[in-house]
Structure 1
């Protein structure tokens, strides 16, 4: 059984799970159950479920953070960047959410916009101090790299800050 890197929070783990397709059919729809388990004496976060398309059992184990990250809802983690979801994936999550924000349901719109704001804030964590943009080598997934390759300029700090402020403005 392989234990994945640290999931800073359960919200971050769920984003990773939503982005990770079933190894048998490629679908992502799975109803996840969450708990704790022990692997070789180490306490880990365990997520299990059954693929809704092909009924394959799915299980993921994540290391727990050294300290809990308290925060707003959603809470993806502390000041350090994710080791599960790369910056291209985070920006794609924000793009997808903002493209389907309902205009007739303020409560749902607020939830989706808060998630998009938090996702863009995660992208900004990948910009090193004193740098102007997320470095190209910070994209480790095929999906994240594809987002970067299409428009690398979107990963400049100034542009990300404008997007973040625009999304935050929609919450007011």
Structure 2
């Protein structure tokens, strides 16, 4: 396996490189290998097996089927919060400027979608009857520091609430602005 790890989708590989590689995904290159795509950036490489990308597309998941081996639960929650913050800000600017702009509309939609999908990824780490994410769901410094700073963000109730809020915000934005674009 490449030094950077194994991703479940190209999107997950890019997100991972944004978090850990110098220059992030903006500096990434993709090459085909016999068993998948190699995504390289900042001296790291991530393998995306062809079957994993196909499974992600078939399942309709943004980041991939199954549980991530690259990003931990704390990172997914932070990613979700980052995209939600972007969606809120972009949505306000979109609403303030009444001129139709499909690109700006799609940016807000994508940000709300990614926010919801990232929280859904964190929920995958939650054991079936558990009320909060277990310590082993946090293996990166970023993930552990997020949990240490705000342990209440990693309960089932909070994650499900965030997921519902992000999905509802996406639905509301689409309902309110679909005719604007």
Report the TM-score when normalising by structure 2: 0.76
Q: For each residue in 1:131-165, what CA deviation from the matched residue of structure 2 results, as whole angstroms up to 9, or x when unmatched?
A: 11110221000011111111111111111111100
The answer as to whether partners of 1:88 and 1:143 remain within 8 angstroms in 2 is: yes
- Aligned counterparts of 2:124 and 2:2: Cα–Cα separation in 1: 27
Of 74, 91, 94, the residue aligned with 2:80 is: 94
TM-score (norm 1): 0.80
Deviations 1:67-116 (A, max 9, x none): 522233x61112x2211000111111111111122021332111101000
Aligned match of 1:37: 33
Mapped partners of 2:25, 2:2: distance in 1: 22
Secondary structure in 2 aligned to 1:133?
A: coil
Following superposition, the deviation at residue 36 of structure 1 comes to: 2.0
Give the CA RMSD over aligned residues.
2.2
Greater shift, 116-125 or 28-37, is seen at 28-37
Name 1:76's counterpart in structure 2. 63
Runs of 5+ consecutive residues of structure 2 not aligned to the other structure: 95-103, 172-181
- Pair 1:164-2:160 in alignment: no
CA distance in 2, matches of 1:21, 1:33: 12
Residues 16-165 of structure 1: matches in 2 within 5 Å? 16-22=16-22, 27-28=23-24, 30-38=26-34, 43-49=35-41, 58-62=43-47, 64=49, 68-69=55-56, 70-72=58-60, 75-78=62-65, 80-101=66-87, 102=90, 103=92, 104=94, 105-165=104-164
- Indicate the structure with greater helix content: 2
Deviation at 1:59, TM superposition (A): 4.2
Gaps of 5+ in 1: 52-57
Q: More strand by proportion, 1 or 2?
A: 1
